[in-house]
Amino acid sequence: MNWHRIHALALRHLYPLKRDFDLLSDMIYWPLVDTIVWGVTSQWITDASGIASAATGILLGLVLWNVIWRSQAEVARNLLDEIQNNNLVNLFSTALTVKEWLVSVVFLSVIKTSITMAILLPAMYLLYKINVLQQGLWLAVFFLGATVTGWWVGFLSAGVVLRHGLRMQTVVWTFPGMLLPFSAVFFPLDRLPAFLQPISRVIPTTYIFETMRAIVAGLPVDYSLLAYSFGLNFLFLTLAIWYFIRSFAYSKKLGLGRFNT
Amino acid sequence: MQPILQTTNLRKVYPPEKKGGTEFVAVDGISFELEPGQILGLLGPNGAGKSTTISMLLGVLTPTSGEISYFGKSFEANRSEILNQVGFASTYISMPWRLTVWENLRIYALLFDIEYTEFAKRAEKFLTKFGVWDQRYKMMNQLSAGQVTRIMLAKAFIPHPKVALLDEPTASLDPDIAHEVRRFVREQREQYGTSILYTSHNMDEVADLCDSVLFLRKGKIVAHDTPENLAGSISKAKVRLQVVDGLKRIERFAREQSLPATIIEREVILEIDEQKVAEFLMQLADEDIHYSQISIDKPTLEDYFLSMSI
């Protein structure tokens, strides 16, 4: 593992932040719009339902969903960015290894997610007097679970693009969206139609959001489900990395140059 | 002397694109060596396997079979160590558009473990030499194709590589800049002993620059020699005459002798075996054919290329 090369890749994706409004809007503008819309909606739901924890639960759900979204986006969209810039051959005709690329995108996902959070969390406090940092160490647990989910979703969709080409790039946007209704992000699992609940039970994020709601509502936490969630998450991450590495090797059999436009 | 780069029975077969289709043999068991300090030209018509070969030498395309070794070491087993000493530039590859020239080069220098101060020194030297120093804070998408090509060359040579793989590096350059690039490539070889594998469609450039040329056709090496010897293997010279009197006679004479001839107004171009040019000129005198100008073009590498590309 060569840290100069990881540093190089980090610069590759941090330099454009100085001037690229597309990237800034993804990192800051849309999360802020979500916060305003969902903040008002959740307060209305709280007033209408009389459930005091509803607003905090929904906004914390939004925060964690943003963590998942940003983590996966950094992994999969970095690959797309290299492909669209005809830069894949440039990078991998140097000493750069796939492992170093993996480490760099994971590192970038942490940095960019942190930037988004540094905007979102104060905005929530200023607009709605909701301080998600009050969840203390639990917040770190939820962030870890959400980040790992974002990584495996990102590696899986990046692997699909490497294997099947740019015609499959839509998975980068649609795959995380597929998880959203099944992850009990904004509503409890038992509100999902019964025939869909088995799907939710094999998705690790379901238990993260269920635990988050229990904590916010002051209910007891089922630690075994949380452990199950982390077990699933790390299993999926391992499988997704394995799939990505296999897809990279497959792609090299056809030539990384085939992506050049 | 140990070769810098060696391929042995290198082969690349692409699987069929559709079920029931046929596989495509892009490179068919080629073996060659690049000697220390040598500039080796890789020539061939489109689809001959040049780019496929370079992709395999860069590790961005996995060979179906065969061996590649650099500095006597297996490329497969020592990929990172080897690629740290290999520079690459191609007209067909760009760099991230939303980064400036300086940012892009800085990133590539880091990929080669070059510290900032050393990078800045080398980048200034190369960008100045290529006439693009003033462009260093411009985004890549603000540059012309020729400027991008020069930046790519700077990228390839900033690490002072032991080997440079250059895929048509002068394709989009004006003649004066292309000349500067050729001089630069020679300098790199002389100063740093860089060994260079060079592809180009400009035959004069290859003849001028390369010590030796590999000619590929349909994935196989069909010739490997110096540019002079390859050109010399074509025995036909082109004789151009500006005919004053006897145009009909020379046309008949060429037909009778089965000499390929092109006639444009009063200019006649004939392809004649080099050994028989003197005899031909005497026959023209016998036929009472008068001409005001004559030029005899010796066979060139381009003639060889054209003859082999058919």
pLDDT 10s digits, B52-76 = 999 999 999 999 999 999 999 999 9
Residues A60-92 pLDDT 10s: 888 899 899 989 988 998 999 999 888 999 999
Mean of the pLDDT values across residues B98-114?
A: 95
pLDDT of B194 strictly over 90: yes
Residues A14-42 pLDDT 10s: 998 888 888 888 888 888 888 888 888 88
Return the pLDDT at B82: 96
Question: What pTM was estimated for this model as a whole?
Answer: 0.84
Amino acid B247 reads L
**Cα separations (Å) of A224 from A140, A143, A228?**
18, 18, 6
Q: Which residue has the higher pLDDT, A219 or B306?
A: A219
Closest of B90, B53, B93, B92 to residue B75, by C-alpha:
B53
Closest of B237, B173, B160, B204 to residue B41, by C-alpha:
B204
Cα–Cα distance, B31 to B92 (Å, whole number): 25
Q: How far apart are the first and last CA of chain B?
A: 37
The minimal CB distance from B110 to the residues A7, A87, A255 is found for A7
Return the pLDDT at A133: 82
The minimal CB distance from B107 to the residues A8, A252, A255 is found for A8
Outline where chain B has alpha helix (H): 50-58, 79-83, 101-111, 116-129, 145-157, 175-192, 203-209, 227-232, 247-257, 277-286, 301-309
Query: Chain A window 213-252: which residues touch B at a Cβ cutoff of 8 Å?
Result: 249, 252
CB contact under 8 A, A90 and B62: no
Contacts of B252 (CB under 8 A, 6+ apart): none
Cα–Cα distance, A212 to A58 (Å, whole number): 10
The minimal CB distance from A95 to the residues B55, B80, B99 is found for B80
| Adjacent-strand bridge partners of B263 | B268
In the structure encoding, which two tokens stand for residue B246, read together? 């006897």
Taking the C-alpha atoms of B66, B72, B77 and B79 in order, what is their torsion angle to the nearest 10 degrees? -100
Q: Report the chain B residue with the minimal C-alpha distance to residue A7.
A: B110
Residues B151-161 pLDDT 10s: 999 999 999 99
CB contact under 8 A, B60 and A255: yes
Dihedral sign, Cα of residue A174, residue A176, residue A181, residue A187: negative
Cα–Cα distance, B48 to B166 (Å, whole number): 17
CB contact under 8 A, A95 and B79: yes
Taking the C-alpha atoms of B42, B48, B54 and B60 in order, what is their torsion angle to the nearest 10 degrees? 180
- This complex has an ipTM of 0.84
Cα–Cα distance, B76 to B64 (Å, whole number): 13
pLDDT of B21 strictly over 90: no
* Domains assigned to chain B: 235-303 (3.30.70.270)
Closest of B75, B73, B37 to residue B55, by C-alpha:
B75
Return the pLDDT at A245: 96
